Amino acid sequence: MSFELQVHDSIAAIGREAWDACAAPTGDPFVSYDFLHACEASGSAVPSQGWGPRHLTLMGPDDAVLGCMPLYLKGHSQGEYVFDHSWADAYQRAGGRYYPKLLGAVPFTPATGPRFLHHPDTDEATVREALIEGALTLTERLGVSSLHVNFPTEPEWTAMGEAKMLRRQDMQFIWRNNGYQAFDDFLGALSSNRRKTIRRERREAQGDLDIRVLSGSDISEAHWDAFFEFYQDTGERKWGRPYLTRDFFERIGQTMADRIALMMAFRDDIPIAGALNFIGRDALYGRQWGALEEVPFLHFELCYYQAIDFAIAHGLSRVEAGAQGEHKIARGYLPSPVYSAHFIADPALRTPVARYLEQERAGVEAEIAAMTAELSPYRTTDA
């Protein structure tokens, strides 16, 4: 296959038609043109915020885009959810310059998905190999310290390992739909104690609130105003400054509303809390959450139980509720592996990181197995 690689400083320079010809067949909402463009055009993922787009395209005859890769020149490690701060600190203490670095990822989104996108008329493995090689070459040409690809699919992770990138493994907590027809079917798969606890949590959370699931044209500007207020409150309490601007939510509301499920709680028609979810081809992805009023178990109701209800009703195979949260296990979300891959140019840093990652992978695998065996809420007998 004859092709050349090009680097672009915005996704708009590639265009929706060309990008989505590769991205849309994946069914992943986060690698869509509309999501990535909203991140950039809203001022959320831009050079002034430490996110400099360097997207790769694989160009064929007549300038046809055969493949593409979301790629950013990062001036920090914020908003990534794969933590390399200790590597940066160690390298900089030794006199190295860790930033800027290259990052292949979706900004602010710890959800597994394709990172090497290919046109359906091309060979996936060939395009993936070319994009990996192109990203490594760009790392060298820019003279940056490293290349990181976060939350790729497992086949992509394997391919990057074959390209001599260092492989890292972590875990998230994912709910899987075992053919349930209703929420009660899911409850029936749990131990009796967990069934009782979840029913009680749902009763207390719902109380006198009106909980609505909004999608498409049902989501108004007033809903987005309320949700942005929730998001700001959570962001300020957790990490000091929220990453996403109000304009980001405006943009996804205009272009992606049919791929959004916004769970909102109202008291006397006034919204007090909400959870934002994106709808994929076979999964529901939980993202941001926030509340202006403390209500027991409302976080669990909006983020976990309403998501399960939605996934069952729409025949989705799983709910990915985001990073961290061992408390999710008791709500039916079991530990599952997630991946990243890393190329570090300087052997003085690469060698100790490789040794650390080898030990870390073994530890994560053991922890997943132990958590599943010891903490799973699912019945193993007729309990």
Strand partners, 6: 57
| The pTM of the whole model exceeds 0.75 | yes
Selection from 291, 263, 336 nearest residue 111 by Cα: 336
Burial letters for 205-226: b for 16+ Cβ neighbours within 10 Å, e otherwise?
bbeebebebbeeeebeeebbeb
Q: What pLDDT shows up at residue 242? A: 84
Domain ranges of the chain: 4-171+337-372, 178-316
- Over its length of 383 residues, how does the chain's per-residue pLDDT go in tens digits? 678 999 999 999 999 999 999 999 999 999 999 999 999 999 999 999 999 999 999 999 888 999 999 999 999 999 999 999 999 999 999 999 999 999 999 999 999 999 999 999 999 999 999 999 999 999 999 999 999 999 999 999 999 999 999 999 999 999 999 999 999 999 999 999 999 999 999 999 999 999 999 999 999 999 999 999 999 987 666 655 789 999 999 999 999 999 999 999 999 999 999 999 999 999 999 999 999 999 999 999 999 999 999 999 999 999 999 888 889 999 999 999 999 999 999 999 999 999 999 999 999 999 999 999 999 999 985 44
Q: Where are the alpha helices (DSSP H) in 166-295?
A: 183-188, 192-206, 221-238, 246-255
Q: Cα dist. 365→12, 95, 112, 167 in Å?
A: 40, 34, 17, 13
Within 13 Å and on the Cβ side, how many CA atoms surround 68?
32
63 Cβ neighbours under 8 A, 6+ residues apart: none
In CATH, the number for domain 178-316 is 3.40.630.30
Distance from C-alpha of 22 to C-alpha of 103, rounded to nearest angstrom: 20
Answer whether 29's CB lies under 8 Å from 285's CB: yes
Q: What pLDDT shows up at residue 382? A: 47
Structural tokens at position 74: 């990062």
Selection from 300, 9, 342, 281 nearest residue 152 by Cα: 342
Q: What is the radius of gyration, based on Cα positions, of the chain?
A: 21
Query: From the centroid of its chain, how far is CA 130?
Result: 24
Structural tokens at position 376: 């799973």
Arch. (CATH architecture) of 4-171+337-372: 3-Layer(aba) Sandwich (3.40)
Q: What pLDDT shows up at residue 381? A: 59
- 151 CB-contact burial (10 Å; exposed 0-12 / middle 13-18 / buried 19+): buried
Q: What pLDDT shows up at residue 323? A: 81
Determine the 3-state secondary structure of 239 from DSSP.
coil
Task: Say if 4-171+337-372 and 178-316 have the same CATH topology.
Answer: yes
Q: What pLDDT shows up at residue 151? A: 98
Q: What pLDDT shows up at residue 324? A: 81
